């Protein structure tokens, strides 16, 4: 595999002691999009999951939630379990 391609897949180590309220970017500005986008979006998926009427719908929303949680966790550089804890809070 090409070295340039490999570098794109390297993920920085997770921050174990990260508090979601203190997420900041490299300039020190708080990442407001966590509260207004990520949290709201994942909670909407959980609400759709709770309102699902059959197993096929439930399975769809469970898969969608798991994928989006993983993507957002990587973007925030936190563990998915930690992000999920603050989403459900």
Going residue by residue through the chain, which has 89 residues, state the pLDDT in tens, using 9 for 90 and above.
444 444 444 444 444 444 555 566 565 566 677 778 888 999 999 999 999 999 999 999 999 999 999 999 888 888 899 888 888 77
Q: Tell me how far apart the alpha carbons of residues 25 and 88 are, in angstroms, rounded to a whole number.
A: 23
Residue 62's pLDDT is 96
Q: Spell out the residues 6+ positions from residue 61 whose beta carbon is closer than 8 angstroms to its own.
A: 45, 48, 49, 52
Residue 25's pLDDT is 58
Residue 33's pLDDT is 74
């Amino acid at each position: 595999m090409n070295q340039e391609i490999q570098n794109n897949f390297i993920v920085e180590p997770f921050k174990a002691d990260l508090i979601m309220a203190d997420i900041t970017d490299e300039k020190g500005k708080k990442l407001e999009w966590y509260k207004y986008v990520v949290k709201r979006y994942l909670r909407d998926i959980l609400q759709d999951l709770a309102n699902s009427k059959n197993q096929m719908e439930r399975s769809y929303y469970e898969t969608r939630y798991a994928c989006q949680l993983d993507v957002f966790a990587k973007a925030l550089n936190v563990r998915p379990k930690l992000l999920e804890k603050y989403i459900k809070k």
